[in-house]
Chains A and B, each alone.
Chain A
Amino acid sequence: MQISMTINGTDVTREIEPRVLLVHFIRDDLRLTGTHWGCDTTNCGTCVVLMDGQPVKSCTVLAAMADGHTITTVEGLAHGATLDPVQQGFMEEHGLQCGFCTPGMMLTARALLDHNPHPEPLEIREAISGQICRCTGYATIVRSIQWAAEHPAGAAPETTTSESTEHEVHA
């Protein structure tokens, strides 16, 4: 069957098998490999993309169901060379380690901030509670999203040494 959708601002039309999952369509047909796959049961959320601005688990959406819709993947988050504040926040606050859950986490964060520009920490935790990170323990992801909320215009891109506060206590 033929499907058409807008992905990261570009219109695409492809012939697909009706059973193809959106995650495989994005990864294998469109070669946008920033969207990951991590479980068989809609639990892990590494496959989260935005469909018409709402986070969806693309392993649980048939590509055919996305026909006529607008999809944003991690590759569509930045505006040219300018990172989305969420992307910048994840770098500033160490919101990622292996990077596998990161695209999904960032897209959920983007959708959250679009609807709620100043979320409380608990609201952030609830927003990402459908996604699993094995590396970070979530606190730095919460801080990353808070950083994005506090810097809606992003930050000067040349910073490599962060000015963020230390969180640890020393004797």
Chain B
Amino acid sequence: MTILEDRPSNPAAGDHDRPIGHGRMQRKEDPRFVRGKGRYVDDIVLPGMLHGAILRAPVAHARLVSIDTSEALAHPKVLAVITGTDLQALGLAWAPTLSMDVQAVLVTDKVRFQGQEVAFVVAEDRYAARDALELIQVEYDVLPPVVDARKAMDPGAPVIRDDLPGRTDNHIFDWEAGDKAETDAVFASADVVVKQEIVYPRVHPAPMETCGAVADFDPIDGRLTLYETTQAPHAHRTLFAMVSGIPEHKIRVVSPDIGGGFGNKVGIYPGYILAVVGSIVTGKPVKWVEDRSENLMSTSFARDYIMQGEIAATKDGKILALRTNVLADHGAFNATAQPTKYPAGFFHIFTGSYDLAAAHCTVTGVYTNKAPGGVAYACSFRVTEAVYLVERMVDILARKLDMDPAELRLKNFIRKEQFPYANKTGWEYDSGDYEPTMRLSMKMAGYDELRREQKEKRERGELMGIGISFFTETVGAGPRKDMDILGLGMADGAELRIHPTGKAVVRISVQSQGQGHETTFAQIVAEEIGIPPEDIDVVHGDTDQTPFGLGTYGSRSTPVSGAAVALVARKVREKARFIAAAMLETRPEDLEWEKGRWFVKGDPSVGKTMAEIAMGAHGTVALPEGIDGNLDAEVTYDPPNLTFPFGAYICVVDVDPGTGHVKVRRFIAVDDCGTRINPMIIEGQIHGGLTDGVGMALMEIIEFDDEGNCLGGSFMDYLIPTAMEVPDWETGFTVTPSPHHPIGAKGVGESATVGSPPAVVNAVVDALTPFGVVHMDMPCTPARVWEAMQGGTRPPV
């Protein structure tokens, strides 16, 4: 039996630094994974199951002239070929996106991006389904595409979305935050203003498991069971009910083990809908699993922001204001997944970690002939773009002022006593203490020594760079009054039952894609009610077995669902107090709680453990009035605010002057995610995000040629770091609890993905200082770095 730590559950009581619920413990999910017994969507085989495959458009923009499916239908193993016309007859040719737009499930009128879904084949096996795709004859009338977002609003640009009534251009939305007049006034009187265009190129989450589904429609009772690679099973169930007309109580969405998500598995893709249609049409279960090219070319990409950044400061380095105009490429359908009120996500946290006098941003979204998406890849709803902008601008300002970038940041941080801090664009930062975090990272890095080494190397012509990033995240969407997705408020539920023998099951509405929920949520319950984590089962990912909630993305599981779990455990603990009082024939107010038992104040020898109380609750003990039998509870948690984790990152790179190759020599990451649950899992989340950041900064990009052909459609072209491209991470932490979260925890799943890209790019630019380089856009590939050394790179498209 594990020994319980004696830690006060109220963070205000002190002792913040100790992790809760046993701290570092092995993951409960690992035994099945290391034996190859994980159960992913493609592992599911149902009796009589058929296989689907999607025919995709080879061009970016074209009228669909004709489709001939007769040869495919004649294939002996093919059971159905579904086209857009077939879906039109069912009213399913178009589906709503998560941004109040519509997306074609199958093309009916016009192809709008390369890789778009054109037809769906259902066959007896996956090889036959692929064979049949080759037998479908499609005639296209190719149109000029819009590839560069900068040209999307040109007069005479081809109108991509002529399906939308009255549409005469490619404009989607304009959005702004902050006070323009106030900001312009500060800029007008500032000593120093620097400007820079900063592009955050299109990248892709590319989880190792691609997207897929197994749909099983039972025509007798009209029930749909859908196994799906989804990060949001409950939201998907509701949306499927709204789209398909199948009543919601007849739909069960199961998200089994998921091989990585990173935001790629939030949206509803045509393939999921087609698997359902295939099952309805054939009367048999249908599996659809996309291949890697389909994943990279058609599912939710990330970023694609062209940002005009401006920063104003005094000549002695007091940062006064930030402003930016952003052009956002949303692809052919506006399918970004973010709270409805925020079409640019949480980009308006671009004020970062600094105490500013004013800030203003505008974001314009446009359609292009590219795949839809934009909010994905651990971005915390566009905080990645925001942090990248501010942390690059601060470095550019430091260069202009000839100040050390660490010193400039330290000089401008929001101070500890200013929290809760209202920034200039509408956020209230819940808690923070930035300077110690920054100082710890510098100490771990040996910052001054690194600068000395750099100076010596520069004198010898060697290119060494040191890059700093200090980020503030906003995660845990969100308060229901402000945040919803398609009208569904962003709250999460939890149910906890203690069985008669004192073992427990907690049911949660969020879903794990590798974050270790089965462990950490058991740890939270363990902390609150004193049952060891190994005696607590965490059930998730099945809408028939779990309470409603919005799912796992935007680092919201711990801030929202973690809070729900802590509160439901406290509710059970309070109920247990009344039952214990009845068992001990005393009054509830005479009992005290410690280490998993209620005991009589002043006489710790008289008490009842949670297991004893559980048996009493299910037994024959006379219960007080108002207390029903059994030991269980449920809650829905509506967060009062988001949580604001932060961190200081320092990256050290060496650049080969002959080839432009960047080697990340060291990476120091100090994170503060409030109260920590399982430090091992937190460290893992950080490591993974740092690798994403190095990938984006140095390698990853989805580019297109002039015809709209995707140039990043395979792992031969979309490069992801291997073990050889990343260093042995050096991590540290500080603890500043969230004042409004029940256990003081903040989200951490995306911190490193958000915070690390600017550290790497700042390091590369720092290394290239002898060449006069002030900025270069990602990815810093050898060719692009070499170009920068020769006088400039072209911005990515």
Binding site for B on A (CB under 8 A): 17, 19-20, 24, 27-28, 31-41, 43-44, 46, 73-75, 77-78, 83, 87-88, 90-92, 94, 96-103, 106, 121, 124-126, 128-142, 159-162, 164, 166-171
A94 to B34, CA, bound (A): 11
Bound: A135/B734 CA distance, A: 23
B729 contacts A by Cβ under 8 Å: yes
Instruction: In the complex, identify which listed stretch (B202-210, B217-225, B561-569) lies at the interface while the others stay far away.
Output: B202-210
Task: Give the segment of B18-26, B102-110, B169-177, B785-793 that binds chain A.
Answer: B18-26
A106-B35 Cα distance, complex, nearest whole Å: 10
A97 touches B515 (CB 8 A): yes
Flag if A73 contacts B688 (CB, 8 Å).
no
- Known contacts A91-B26, A170-B733; decide if A160 and B209 are in contact (CB<8 Å): no
Closest-CB distance, A110 to chain B (whole angstroms):
12
Note all chain B residues with C-beta closer than 8 A to A38.
Answer: 208-210, 259, 292
- Apart from A34-B35, A94-B683, A130-B722, what 12 extra A-B contacts exist at CB < 8 Å? A39-B292, A39-B715, A43-B715, A96-B33, A98-B514, A100-B207, A100-B208, A132-B208, A134-B207, A168-B731, A170-B440, A171-B436
Partner of A160, one of B2, B45, B515, B692: B2
B35 touching A78 by the CB < 8 A rule? yes
Select which of A31, A100, A160 is within 8 A of B534 by beta carbon.
A160
Asked whether B179 is an interface residue with its Cβ less than 8 Å from the other chain, the reply is no
The reply to whether A44 and B715 form a contact with Cβ atoms under 8 Å apart is: yes
A-side contacts of B45, CB under 8 Å: 31
- Residues on the A chain within 8 Å of B24, using CB: 161-162, 164, 166
Residues of A within 8 A of B29 (CB): 99
Q: How many residues of B contact A (CB 8 A)?
A: 76
Q: A31-B45, A132-B722 are in contact. Are A99 and B728 (CB under 8 A)?
A: no
| Nearest B residue (CB) for A160 | B26
Distance in Å: Cβ of A2 to nearest Cβ of chain B: 18
Chain B residues with CB under 8 A of A167: 683, 731
Check B127–A17 contact: CB distance below 8 A. Answer: yes
In the complex, are the beta carbons of B30 and A171 less than 8 A apart?
Answer: no
| Cβ contact within 8 Å between B688 and A137 | yes
Please name the residue on chain B nearest to A84 by beta carbon: B34
Contact of A138 among B42, B680, B691, B716 (CB under 8 A): B691
How far does the alpha carbon of A39 sit from the alpha carbon of B692 in the complex, in Å?
Answer: 18
Which residue of A17, A33, A139 is within 8 Å of B729 (Cβ)?
A: A139
A98 touches B207 (CB 8 A): yes
Which residues from B are CB-within-8-Å of A99?
A: 29-30, 32-33, 38, 257, 259, 514
Contact status A41-B292, CB under 8 Å: yes
Inter-subunit contact A91/B127 (CB<8 Å)? no
Interface residue? B31 (CB, 8 A): yes
| CB-defined contacts of B716 to chain A, threshold 8 Å | 41, 43
- List the A residue with the shortest CB-CB distance to B533: A160
Asked whether A169 lies within 8 Å of B26 as measured between CB atoms, the reply is no
Residues of A within 8 A of B692 (CB): 134
Chain B residues within an 8 Å CB radius of A96? 30, 33-34, 514
Given A32-B36, A74-B35, A94 contacting B534 (CB threshold 8 A): no
- Given A96-B34, A160-B25, check contact A170 B732 (CB 8 Å): yes
Q: Which residues of chain A are within 8 angstroms of B516 by Cβ–Cβ distance?
A: 97
| Complex contacts, B439 vs chain A, CB 8 Å | 171
Cβ contacts under 8 Å, B36 to chain A: 32-35, 73-75, 77, 103
Q: Which residues of B contact A20 (CB under 8 A)?
A: 127
Q: Would you list which residues of chain B between 249 and 264 have a CB under 8 Å from chain A?
A: 257-260, 262
B680 in contact with A162 (CB, 8 Å)? yes
Contacts of B437 in A (CB 8 A): 171
Question: Is A162 a contact of B25 with CB atoms below 8 Å?
Answer: yes
Docked-complex contact A133 and B25, CB < 8 angstroms: no
B583 CB → nearest A CB, Å: 31
How many angstroms from the CA of A73 to the CA of B35 in the assembled complex? 10
- A-B pair count, CB < 8 Å, reads 217
Contact A132 B690 (CB under 8 A): no
Contact call B720/A134, Cβ cutoff below 8 A: yes
| C-alpha spacing A32/B35, complex, angstroms | 11
Interface centre among B43, B260, B437 (most CB of A within 10 A): B260
CB closest residue in chain A, given B670: A169
Within 8 A of A (CB), among B183-226: 206-210
Q: Given the known inter-chain contacts A137-B726, A166-B24, A171-B732, please indicate yes or no for A100 contacting B209, CB distance below 8 A.
A: yes
The answer to the question of B293 belonging to the interface, with a C-beta cut-off of 8 Å to chain A, is yes
Given A99-B33, A137-B690, A169-B444 in contact, is the A131-B722 Cβ separation under 8 Å?
Answer: yes
> CA–CA, A137 to B689, complex, Å?
7
Partner pick for A134 among B39, B260, B515, B729, CB 8 A cutoff: B260
Q: How far is the CA of A1 from the CA of B2 in the complex (A)?
A: 55
A90-B691 contact in complex given A38-B208, A162-B25, C-beta closer than 8 Å? no
B15 in the interface, Cβ–Cβ < 8 Å?
no
With beta carbons under 8 angstroms apart, the residue of A24, A35, A134 that contacts B206 is: A134
Distance of A24 Cα from B127 Cα, bound (Å): 10
B13 at the interface (CB under 8 A from A): no
Name the A residues within 8 Å of B732 (CB-CB).
168-171
**Contact status A125-B35, CB under 8 Å:** no
**B259 with A171: CB separation less than 8 A:** no
Q: Report B127 CB to chain A, min CB distance, Å.
A: 7
Determine if B258 and A129 form an interchain contact, defined as CB atoms under 8 angstroms apart. no
B35 and A98: CB pair below 8 A? no
Q: Are B34 and A171 in contact (CB under 8 A)?
A: no
Interfacial residues of chain B within 724-756, with CB under 8 A of chain A in the complex: 724, 726, 728-734
Given A40-B293, A74-B35, A134 contacting B688 (CB threshold 8 A):
yes
A134 and B208 within 8 A (CB): yes
Taking the closest CB of chain A, its distance from the CB of B52, in whole angstroms, is: 15
Bound CA–CA A77/B33 (angstroms):
12
Which A residues touch B729, using CB under 8 A?
Answer: 137, 139
Task: State the CA gap A144–B707 with chains docked (Å).
Answer: 46
**Contacting residues, chain B, for A46 (C-beta < 8 A):** 208
The answer to whether B502 has its CB under 8 Å from any CB of chain A is no
- With A94-B27, A131-B722 given, is the CB distance from A136 to B35 under 8 Å? no
CB closest residue in chain A, given B734: A171
Query: Does A169 lie within 8 Å of B731, measured CB to CB?
Result: yes
Q: Max chain A CB contacts within 10 Å: which of B38, B257, B690, B729? A: B38
Whether B291 is near chain A, meaning CB under 8 Å from some CB there, is yes
B715 CB contacts on chain A under 8 angstroms: 39, 41, 43-44, 132
Q: Do B208 and A91 have beta carbons less than 8 Å apart?
A: no
Known: A44-B715, A101-B208. A136 touches B292 (CB 8 A): no
A41 to B715, CA, bound (A): 7
User: Which of the listed residues A32, A98, A100, A103 has the most CB atoms from chain B within 10 Å of its own CB?
Assistant: A98
Residue pairs across A and B with Cβ atoms less than 8 A apart, 13 shown, are A28-B125, A34-B37, A88-B34, A91-B31, A96-B33, A96-B34, A97-B684, A100-B40, A134-B207, A134-B688, A136-B688, A140-B684, A161-B22
Which chain A residue shows the least CB distance to B31? A91
Question: Is B687 part of the contact surface with A, judged by Cβ < 8 Å?
Answer: yes
Bound-complex Cα distance A138 to B210 (A): 20
Render B295-330 as a binary contact track against A, CB cut-off 8 A, 1 for contact: 000000000000000000000000000000000000
Tell me if B723 is interfacial: C-beta within 8 Å of chain A: yes
Q: Is B681 an interface residue (CB 8 A)?
A: yes
In the assembled complex, the Cα of A47 lies from the Cα of B126 at a distance in Å of 17
Is there an interface contact between B679 and A40, defined as CB atoms closer than 8 Å? Answer: no
**Residues of A contacting B258 in the complex (Cβ-Cβ under 8 angstroms):** 98
Give chain B nearest CB distance to A88 CB in angstroms: 8
Which 8 residue pairs spanning A and B have beta carbons closest together? A34-B36, A98-B514, A137-B687, A100-B259, A99-B33, A74-B36, A97-B514, A43-B715
Does any Cβ of A come within 8 Å of B714's Cβ?
A: yes
Contacts of B17-71 to chain A: CB distance below 8 A:
17, 22, 24-27, 29-40, 42-43, 45
With CB as the reference atom, state the residue of chain B lying closest to A137. B687
> Would A142 and B25 be within 8 Å (CB), given that A40-B291, A97-B515, A137-B691 are in contact?
no
Q: How far is the CB of B298 from chain A (nearest CB, A)?
A: 14
Is there contact, CB below 8 Å, between B681 and A94?
Answer: yes
A24 surroundings in chain B (CB, below 8 A)? 126-127
- CB-nearest residue of chain B relative to A102? B33
